[in-house]
């Protein structure tokens, strides 16, 4: 009997990661790459109880070797690594001047360098197989940066640029690399990091008012994993604002300035 393909989910213990794992286990053997192994073990037991194959792997910020060890363990367990979904860590928001060096270093390690290290670790396994898929997930602030989102926007934009480069560079190896831009959702309140209480309150209200559930976004992510597109923007509101930013730049900039003035 043909074995199911394997999927590694980075930041699988977030609300979105958990939703994706529960959806994906219908078709994949799932490896859960987590910083919180307690939550990872709980999710893994839940998948096992429903008769699914799952594996928990620990990752630590600033430890690139952990990504290589995780890939090696997946290969020892299932002899293949077919797909990777690289989810963002928690949101970090607040005025630029309030962002400390610690904030920047934490974001750099947990988002940008985590993406770099995971892609590097997966490259050898997927290249030897002659195929593989990597999907990097970024918050919409990486595409639509606005006030109080400079740090998150910088990380998302860097990850998107990295993905675009790898999309063209690795296609001859049989490795497809893509980006999906996700909208705000209520689940992103979990682990929200803000420089001040007012910024936290503003973004929590915005996230709580979102029309998108983690399951809906999870379905979009899995659809994007199967897509050949380099960039997927599934949320209509995000696509509309992206078009406005591209084609009506002055109007977009005026809108952002007005929002920033209200925040100030």
pLDDT tens-place string over residues 143-171: 999 899 999 999 999 999 999 999 999 99
Whether 62 has a pLDDT exceeding 80, the answer reads no
**For the purposes of burial, counting CB atoms within 10 Å of the CB of 58, is it exposed (0-12), middle (13-18) or buried (19 or more)?**
middle
How much is the pLDDT for 170? 97
* Candidate from 28-32, 148-152, 176-180, 257-261 with smallest mean pLDDT: 257-261
Beta bridge partners of 228: none
* CATH 3.10.310.30 for the 6-235 domain, yes or no: no
How much is the pLDDT for 143? 94
How much is the pLDDT for 2? 63
Q: Where are the domains of the chain?
A: 6-235
Beta bridge partners of 9: 32, 85
φ and ψ at residue 54, rounded to 5 degrees: -150, 155
How much is the pLDDT for 3? 83
**Cα–Cα dist 224/217, whole Å:** 10
| % of the chain exceeding 70 in pLDDT | 99
What average pLDDT does this structure show over 242-260? 87
**For the purposes of burial, counting CB atoms within 10 Å of the CB of 191, is it exposed (0-12), middle (13-18) or buried (19 or more)?**
middle
Helix, strand, or coil here: 177? strand
**Cα–Cα dist 100/118, whole Å:** 26
Say which residues have a Cβ less than 8 Å from residue 209's Cβ, sequence separation at least 6.
none
**Cα–Cα dist 111/49, whole Å:** 31
| Paired tokens of 135 | 């999907």
DSSP class per residue in 48-108: HHTT--EEEEE--TT-HHHHHHHHHHHHHHHS---EEEE-----EES-GGG--HHHHHHHI
Whether 202 has a pLDDT exceeding 50, the answer reads yes
| Paired tokens of 144 | 């639509």
Say which residues have a Cβ less than 8 Å from residue 25's Cβ, sequence separation at least 6.
47, 50, 52, 53, 54
Nearest C-alpha neighbor of 156 from the set 78, 83, 242: 242
Whether 69 has a pLDDT exceeding 50, the answer reads yes
What average pLDDT does this structure show over 71-82? 95
Whether 1 has a pLDDT exceeding 60, the answer reads no
**Cα–Cα dist 224/75, whole Å:** 24
Return the DSSP state at 138: E
What average pLDDT does this structure show over 52-65? 88
pLDDT tens digits, residue range 105-142?
A: 989 999 999 999 999 999 989 999 999 999 999 999 99
What average pLDDT does this structure show over 26-40? 89
What average pLDDT does this structure show over 74-95? 93
**Cα–Cα dist 92/43, whole Å:** 25
pTM of the model: 0.94
The CB-side HSE value for 110 (13 A sphere, CA atoms) comes to 18
Return the residue matching tokens 């590694």: 8
Whether 19 has a pLDDT exceeding 70, the answer reads yes
Q: What is the mean pLDDT of the chain?
A: 92
């Amino acid at each position: 009997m043909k074995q199911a393909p394997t999927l590694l989910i980075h930041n699988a213990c977030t609300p979105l990661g958990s939703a994706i794992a529960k959806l994906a286990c219908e078709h994949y053997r799932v490896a859960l790459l987590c910083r919180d192994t307690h939550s990872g073990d709980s999710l893994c037991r839940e998948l096992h109880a429903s008769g699914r194959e799952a594996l928990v792997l620990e990752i630590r910020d600033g430890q690139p070797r952990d990504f290589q060890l995780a890939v090696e363990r997946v290969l020892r367990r299932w002899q293949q690594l077919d797909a990777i979904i690289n989810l963002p860590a928690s949101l970090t928001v607040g005025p630029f001047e309030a962002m400390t060096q610690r904030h920047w270093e934490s974001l750099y390690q947990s988002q940008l360098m985590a993406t770099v290290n995971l892609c590097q670790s997966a490259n050898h396994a997927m290249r030897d197989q002659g195929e593989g898929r990597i999907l990097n997930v970024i918050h919409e602030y990486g595409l639509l940066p606005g006030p109080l989102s400079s740090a998150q926007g910088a990380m998302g934009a860097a990850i998107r640029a990295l993905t675009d480069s790898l999309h063209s560079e690795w296609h001859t190896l049989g490795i497809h690399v893509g980006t999906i831009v996700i909208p705000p959702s209520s689940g992103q309140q979990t682990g929200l990091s803000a420089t001040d209480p007012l910024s936290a309150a503003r973004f929590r209200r915005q996230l709580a008012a979102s029309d998108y559930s983690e399951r809906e976004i999870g379905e979009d992510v899995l659809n994007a994993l199967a897509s050949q597109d380099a960039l997927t923007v599934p949320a209509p509101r995000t696509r509309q604002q992206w078009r406005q930013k591209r084609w009506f730049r002055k109007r977009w900039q005026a809108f952002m300035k007005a929002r920033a003035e209200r925040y100030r």
